[in-house]
Amino acid sequence: MNKLAEESNSQLKGTVAERLLSTMGSRLYFPKGIVAQAGEAKKAAHTANATIGMAFNHGKPFILSAIADSMPTLTPEQTVLYAPTAGVEQLRMEWQNQLIKKNPSVNQGEISLPVVTTGLTGGLSAIADLFVDKGQTVITSDPCWDNYTLIFDVRREGIIRNVPFFASGCSCCCHSGLDLEGISQAVREEAKKGQVRIVLNFPNNPTGYSPTKAEARALVELFYEVARDGADVLIICDDAYFGLFYEDDICEESPFSLFAGLHERILAVKIDGPIKEDYVWGLRIGFVTIGSCGLKQEHYNALNVKLTGAIRATISCSSTPAQYFALKSLEDSRTAGEKAAFREIMRKRYVAVKAFIEENPDHPVLKPYPCNSGYFLSFNCLGVSSEALRQELLSKHGIGVVSLGEHCLRIAFSSLDEEQIPPVLKTVYEVADKMV
């Protein structure tokens, strides 16, 4: 094993992070090669820096006029230079500040400095590299985002355990919630093996559900108990749609804030980013933040070294201009007001969805999953293939929806104007009714 990997492993000795590391996670390190040496030279090479494969003219990077004209608010350094592997430090610090503002239960001194990845998928993949080995179980919701299978199963050869997280068959998409009994059973069964790995995706894709405050307290009790009884727990918080909450009783902090300081046997990971939160989907910027009450800053530094190694070995670094665009949006005084206006538009679309569901209860085929947040509404299709329904809606009515598995039909109300929602849902209901 590389000496640098051994060094970070020794720094993690005796922690929950060390026990949860995959074999790849144990082997990962950030090499003191070109990128690391270039980073050192950037700070100390005052006479000349000839470490990195970039072209300069009198200290300024070469830049094409087409690029310069298209990005008038960015300097050449912010546009065409390589970003550090872990991300632009100013952006990392600002994202951490924003994280704490949105999650006041989090203590800045007790979490890692976020590492930048290419989208949330990049963050999930890096965490899978560190903490998932062949044959290890990862609990996810059923239904869930289909990319989890590629990340944890196909890529890392883990075992996806799909657990029905959400009550279905209700007459209103807001009157049921988490299947706490089912979640508890799955977690306790995995805890008997000594380790639990679980993904909590709230607001959920595809159902559009976030825990209520009471449900959040129940999850805290569950994971505290299994950790107290001796199991090591990895909680991956996929917060892609964080902040889009539409009901008053929702727990409006990330699950990360609940678990990062809960028990020394719990390792909480927050995967988030501005992609959905700040409506900048094409920037493909994500962040990975780690928290556990059993870890100190030297442990977080060691984990970030391994994370950076995983990034270096796959994408090398994330887009420089995308990071600076994200930073500018975070620092711009207009952003908060514009985001509030966008959220209100989304809330009105949700209200339109909720009204239609309440006015049309007890459909023979479509049973809405609970929904109170996010971008989506999903139906459990009874007696009808969701894929067949999707094809019928697309080919005969020109309505595009998503089929997940055999029985889940997802509708992204985020992409529908408010006035489109009733007629679209009416058609979905009518077509499904005729397919029985």
CATH number of the domain at 250, please: 3.40.640.10
Residue 133 reports pLDDT greater than 50? yes
d(CA 88, CA 39): 12
Q: Give the chain's domain count.
A: 3
DSSP string, 183-201: HHHHHHHHHTTTEEEEEEE
Of 361, 356, 373, whose CA–CA distance to 423 is shortest? 356
Residues 47 and 25 in one domain: no
Report the relative pairing of strands 159-163 and 137-141 from DSSP bridges: parallel
In a domain, 102, yes or no: yes
- Which of 222, 244, 418 shows the shortest CA–CA distance to 343? 244
The listed range with the strongest mean pLDDT (105-109, 168-172, 219-223, 399-403) is 219-223
| Whether residue 315 is found in the same domain as residue 385 | no
pLDDT at 174: 46
Domain identity same for 247 and 139: yes
- Of 116, 67, 138, the C-alpha closest to 315 is 116
Look over the chain and give the mean of its residue pLDDT values, rounded to a whole number. 91
Position 80 in a domain: no
**Residue 191 sits in the same domain as residue 92:** yes
The pLDDT of residue 321 is 93
Token pair for residue 76?
A: 């050449």
Mean pLDDT value across residues 413-426: 93
What pTM was estimated for this model as a whole? Answer: 0.92
> What pLDDT is recorded for position 354?
96
In this structure, the dihedral spanned by the alpha carbons of residues 379, 153, 219 and 381, taken in order and rounded to 10 degrees, is 10
Q: What is the pLDDT of residue 283?
A: 86
In this structure, are 156 and 292 located in the same domain?
Answer: yes
Q: Is-contact 237 216, C-beta < 8 A? A: no
Helix H or strand E segment including 323: helix 320-331
Considering the domain architecture, whether residues 293 and 392 belong to the same structural domain is answered as: no
In a domain, 144, yes or no: yes
Residues 6+ apart with CB under 8 A from 383: 364, 365, 436
- Do 165 and 279 lie in a common domain? yes
What percent of the chain has pLDDT above 70? 92
Q: Can you tell me the distance from the alpha carbon of 387 to that of 339, in angstroms, rounded to the nearest whole number?
A: 35
Are 179 and 326 within one domain? yes
79 occurs within a structural domain: no
266 and 374 in a single domain? The answer is no
**In the listed set 305, 331, 357, which residue is the last one of a domain according to the structure?**
331
**Residue 352 domain boundaries:** 336-434
Rounded CA-CA distance 87/94 in Å is 12
Please check whether residues 106 and 217 belong to one and the same domain: yes
* 281 lies in the same domain as 316: yes
For residue 327, tell me if it sits in a domain: yes
Instruction: Say if CB 318 and CB 287 are below 8 A apart.
Output: no
Q: Percent of the chain, pLDDT > 90?
A: 76
316 and 362 inside one domain: no
Task: Identify the domain boundary among 280, 315, 331.
Answer: 331
Instruction: Give me the half-sphere count of Cα atoms (radius 13 Å) on the Cβ side of residue 246.
Output: 28
Domain presence at residue 360:
yes
pLDDT in tens, 244-296: 999 999 999 999 999 999 999 999 999 999 988 988 888 899 999 999 998 99
Tell me what percent of the chain is helix, strand and coil, each rounded to the nearest 5: 45, 15, 35
Indicate whether 376 pLDDT > 50.
Answer: yes
Q: Alpha-carbon dihedral of residues 282, 211, 142, 114, nearest 10 degrees?
A: 40
Q: What's the N-to-C CA distance of the chain in angstroms?
A: 60
Q: What phi, psi does 138 have (nearest 5°)?
A: -125, 120
- The radius of gyration of the chain's CA atoms, rounded to the nearest angstrom, is 23
Region 346-358 average pLDDT = 95
C-alpha distances in Å from residue 106, one per residue of 99, 102, 256, 258: 8, 9, 8, 8
Q: What is the CATH number of the domain that holds 387?
A: 3.90.1150.10
